[in-house]
Structure 1
Amino acid sequence: MTTIDVNSLLLQMRRISAQTEMPAIRGVGETVAAEKGAFGDLLKQSIEGVSQQQGKAKDMAMAFERGDPGIDLAQVMIQGQKADLSFRALTEVRNKMVDAYKEIMNMSI
């Protein structure tokens, strides 16, 4: 099972976010205010959720190996698949974000 280094992934996402920040475009006499950090917070929560899924899968597998009577093989396999699926989904989100960033950077102004 693959584990994810949350800190390195967050650092990579922050670098991409910092590179894409642009000053807000303002109309005549108006100020555009956006809720700053909402996307970043959502992304961070998603990464932490994936990390928790992986930790739970690991803990269940270890409990099964120790012979814990409350854990059966089916539960361990299901939790492992949930962790794998959430990790793959997060990887796809990251790949889509990188592709979108590259596309934006290649746009002519």
Structure 2
Amino acid sequence: MELRLNPTTMPTAIRPASAAGIASRQGAGAVDGGFAGALKGALGTVSAAQNDASQLQREVQMENPKVSLEETMVAIQKAQIGFQATLHVRNRMVQAYTDIMNMQV
């Protein structure tokens, strides 16, 4: 399964930076978070999506007229897809770690 994210659906923490943003960070000597920072940002985005879906669910259950069922179902599906993608990434990382640990040196 291949997951591709375009810049509009990609979590903000791992979106490609603009050329000006890259130049300003390099000039200031700031160290980018790298893979760990991107992973942390992606996990934060998935968590926020799950929290948003839970909040919308509560609002629908309390019969809030400002919250539609369709909006809630879309938020739930987005959270579920994000969680499934996170599980796939975790499983791939564990498999890669296992493969590296089993290598003969």
Q: Which band: TM-score by shorter chain?
A: 0.5 to 0.7
| Structure 1 gaps, min length 5 | 1-34
Higher normalized contact order (CA 8 Å, seq sep 6+, divided by chain length): 1
Amino acid at match of 1:39: F
- Residues 22-66 of structure 1 show CA distances to partners (whole Å, capped at 9, x for unaligned) of xxxxxxxxxxxxx67411111111111110000000000111111
Following TM superposition, where does structure 1 have runs of at least 4 consecutive aligned residues deviating by more than 2 angstroms? none
* Percent of residue pairs identical: 36
The TM-score with structure 1 as length reference comes to 0.65
The aligned runs of 1:4-83 (5 Å cut-off) are 37-83=33-79
Q: Which residue is equivalent to 2:4? A: none
Provide the aligned C-alpha RMSD in A.
Answer: 1.4
1:79 & 1:43 partners in 2: Cα distance? 21
Pairing partner for 2:101 from 84, 105, 109? 105
Any idea what SS the aligned residue of 1:52 has?
helix
Larger radius of gyration: 1
Q: TM-score, normalised by structure 2?
A: 0.67
